[in-house]
């Protein structure tokens, strides 16, 4: 690999703090919350829910693109994250943890509270999320210039930015002007459905690496069939990725579809961040010039390891195991 190869991965997305608690199914029932999915709430609602548990919460940085970029930094990659946080204790914790993961923060500060996601994890490892977006929604499109993507090999654009079309447009144009590849994770089938009028044009005109899970791929392509879905996903991009959880993944590149096996082992404890960390391993590999197969193995290891812990941050020994593949 050339010594002067540009390998930086820059992510832009929601700067959120993940608050994780283990609780019973009955706890969710008492909250009148159906298991799984995400519910938008106010800051005070999260505090009220936390007041009802005797569990000690785990507090770590969150947000889809942020999880991916922290994974890249923890792998030893050159990484940068762009977002907006509140001027509060949660925001300070967020930024300190970003730096601790060897990621350069380009984080502006708001007078609004830092965004947060309370994940209630039930014994079956499912997570039910209560989300307060707070300051994360206030990132100013005018601040997003090509300079903050300078020296970037791959720009990771969080799919949730599709809910803020001015910001999404600014990010895509700035990343392209900086000369980087653009990766887009479709985030959720709700995002795909809400953005159908602009999504195909964005993918056709800007995106080089398109990443989706089964639900997102079906919403985007209209196909249940995995082969047909990955083929349609790959029409306008260089890399198309279809993540299938414990069944592995497909990667399409240059007209060839490669099946990537999931890493087998213990049952999951918590699936928070599994797709985000998978993307971290894959993008790290691509940025460093690794083969599809090797990038996929690193990705599968990242996805497996994060399911063995609470939240999307891995301990040192897990990263040591993954780095052996690198």
**Residues facing 156 on adjacent strands:** 11, 183
Full set of structural domains in the chain with CATH: 9-15+62-114+134-323 (3.40.1190.20)
178: tokens are 């900086």
pLDDT in tens, 300-324: 999 999 999 877 889 899 999 999 9
Q: CB within 8 A of 12, min separation 6: which ones? A: 65, 81, 82, 83, 139, 144, 155, 156, 157, 158, 161, 171
Identify the pLDDT of residue 2.
47
What average pLDDT does range 92-107 have in this prediction? 95
Residues recorded for the chain: 326
Average pLDDT over residues 11-33: 93
pLDDT band at 295 (very low <50, low <70, confident <90, very high): very high
Band (268; pLDDT cuts 50, 70, 90): confident
Res 3 pLDDT > 60 = no
Token reading at 87: 């001027």
Q: Please tell me the predicted confidence (pLDDT) of residue 35.
A: 84
Task: For 229-253, write each residue's pLDDT tens digit.
Answer: 999 999 999 999 999 988 999 999 9
Give residue 58's pLDDT band: very low, low, confident or very high (50, 70, 90).
Answer: confident
pLDDT tens by residue, 36-55 = 777 889 999 999 999 999 99
User: For 202-226, what is the mean pLDDT?
Assistant: 96
Give this prediction's pTM: 0.91
Report whether pLDDT(326) > 80.
Answer: yes
User: Which residues are CB-neighbours of 296 under 8 A, at least 6 positions away?
Assistant: 249, 251, 258, 260, 282, 285
Residues 222 and 204: their CA atoms lie apart, in Å, by 17
């Amino acid at each position: 690999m050339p010594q002067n190869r540009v390998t930086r991965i820059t992510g832009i997305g929601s700067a959120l703090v993940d608050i994780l608690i283990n609780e019973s199914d009955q706890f969710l029932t008492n909250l009148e919350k159906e298991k799984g999915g995400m519910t938008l709430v106010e800051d005070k609602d999260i505090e009220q829910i936390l007041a009802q548990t005797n569990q000690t919460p785990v507090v770590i940085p969150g947000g889809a693109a942020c999880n991916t970029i922290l994974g890249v930094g923890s792998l030893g990659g050159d990484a940068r994250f762009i977002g907006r946080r509140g001027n509060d204790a949660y925001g300070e914790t967020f930024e300190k943890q970003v730096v601790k993961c060897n990621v350069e923060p380009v984080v502006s500060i708001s007078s609004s509270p830092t965004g947060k996601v309370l994940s209630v994890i039930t014994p079956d490892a499912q997570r039910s999320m209560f989300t307060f977006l707070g300051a994360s929604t206030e990132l100013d499109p005018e601040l997003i210039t090509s300079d903050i993507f300078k020296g970037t090999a791959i720009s990771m654009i969080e799919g949730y930015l599709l809910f803020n079309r001015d910001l999404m447009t600014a990010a895509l144009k700035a990343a392209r002007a900086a000369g980087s590849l653009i990766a887009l994770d479709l985030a959720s089938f709700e995002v795909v459905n809400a953005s159908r009028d602009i999504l195909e044009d964005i993918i056709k005109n800007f995106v080089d690496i398109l990443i989706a899970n089964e639900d997102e791929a079906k919403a985007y392509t209209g196909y249940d069939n995995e082969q047909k879905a990955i083929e349609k996903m790959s029409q306008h991009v260089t890399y198309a990725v279809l993540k299938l959880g414990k069944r592995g993944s497909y990667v399409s590149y240059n007209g060839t579809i490669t099946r990537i096996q999931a890493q087998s082992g213990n049952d999951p404890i918590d699936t928070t961040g599994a797709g985000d960390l998978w993307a971290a391993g894959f993008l790290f590999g691509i940025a460093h010039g690794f083969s599809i197969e090797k990038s996929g193995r690193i990705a599968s290891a990242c996805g497996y390891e994060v399911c063995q812990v609470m939240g999307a941050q891995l301990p040192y020994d897990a990263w040591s195991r993954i780095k052996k593949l690198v």
